[in-house]
Structure 1
Amino acid sequence: MKGLLYLGAAAAAICTTFAASAQFSGREDPMPVTQPKMPGEYWAPKPTTPTAYTAPNKVHWKLSDVLAAHRGQSDWVQPILRNNEQDADYVSLGKGKTTKARFFADDRVMFIVWDGSVKVTIDGVEPFTATKGFMVSVPFRHVYTIENVGDKPALWFEVRQANSPPFYPASETPDTYPGRTYMKVTGNPGPARDRDTNPAYVDFFKTIAVGDKPHNGKFVWDDHFTSNILRGKAAESVPPATNRGHFHSDWTEFWFIMEGRVGYQIEGFPYFVSEPGDVVAAAKGRWHRPGNDPSAPMSTRIPINPRPVILHNFEPAH
Structure 2
Amino acid sequence: MKNLWKRSLAALGAIAISTVGMTQAHAQAKAWTPKPTPLAPYVNGMKPLTKLSDVLADKDPSASWRHKVVDDESVKAAWVGLKPGDGMRQKLVADHRTAFVVWEGQIEVNIPGQTPATFTATKGMMVQVPLRRPYSLTNVGSTPSLHFEVHNAKRVFIYPQPTSTAGLPPPPEGHVWFPHRYEQPDSFTSQGTPVSRNFFANPAGSTGAFVNDDRLFMNVIRGANAPVTDEYYFKVSDGDAWFVMEGQMGFSVEGLGSLVANPGDIVYVPAGRFQQPSHLGGGFSTGIVINGYPRGSRHWPEIQPPVPPIASM
CA-to-aligned-CA distance 1:213-242 (integer Å, 9 cap, x gap): xx7521110211111111111124x56xxx
2:216 pairs with one of 221, 225, 244: 225
Structure 1 residue 316: Cα displacement: 2.1
Q: Does the Cα contact within 8 Å between 1:137 and 1:201 map onto a contact in 2?
A: yes
CA-to-aligned-CA distance 1:91-137 (integer Å, 9 cap, x gap): 01110122100010000111000000111111211121110000000
The residue aligned with 1:298 is 284
The residue aligned with 2:73 is 84
The residue aligned with 1:13 is none
Give the Cα separation in 2 of the matches to 1:86 and 1:161: 5
The residue aligned with 1:139 is 130
Give the Cα separation in 1 of the matches to 2:263 and 2:77: 17
Give the Cα separation in 2 of the matches to 1:226 and 1:169: 27
Q: How does 1:56-135 map to 2 (within 5 A)?
A: 56-125=45-114, 126=116, 127-135=118-126
SS of residue in 2 equivalent to 1:246:
coil
SS of residue in 1 equivalent to 2:53:
helix
**1:205–1:30 Cα change, 3 Å:** closer
The residue aligned with 1:3 is none
SS of residue in 2 equivalent to 1:34:
helix
The RMSD of aligned alpha carbons is 2.3
SS of residue in 2 equivalent to 1:66:
helix
Give the Cα separation in 2 of the matches to 1:296 and 1:310: 32
Q: Does the Cα contact within 8 Å between 2:215 and 2:293 map onto a contact in 1?
A: yes
Amino acid of the structure 2 residue aligned with 1:183: F
Which stretches in structure 1 are left out of the alignment for 5+ residues? 1-27
Q: How does 1:1-318 map to 2 (within 5 A)?
A: 32-36=20-24, 37-125=26-114, 126=116, 127-171=118-162, 173-179=167-173, 180-187=175-182, 189-193=183-187, 195-208=190-203, 216-236=207-227, 245-293=232-280, 295-316=281-302
**1:196–1:123 Cα change, 3 Å:** farther
Amino acid of the structure 2 residue aligned with 1:298: F
Amino acid of the structure 2 residue aligned with 1:154: S
Give the number of the structure whose residues are more often helix, by fraction: 2
**1:29–1:265 Cα change, 3 Å:** closer
- In the comparison of the two structures, how many residue pairs are matched? 281
Amino acid of the structure 1 residue aligned with 2:98: V
Structure 1 residue 199: Cα displacement: 1.8
SS of residue in 2 equivalent to 1:258:
strand
- After TM superposition, the structure 1 stretch with the greater mean CA deviation from structure 2, 37-46 or 217-226, is 37-46
CA-to-aligned-CA distance 1:293-312 (integer Å, 9 cap, x gap): 1x341100000110122111
Give the Cα separation in 1 of the matches to 2:113 and 2:246: 31
Give the Cα separation in 2 of the matches to 1:50 and 1:199: 39
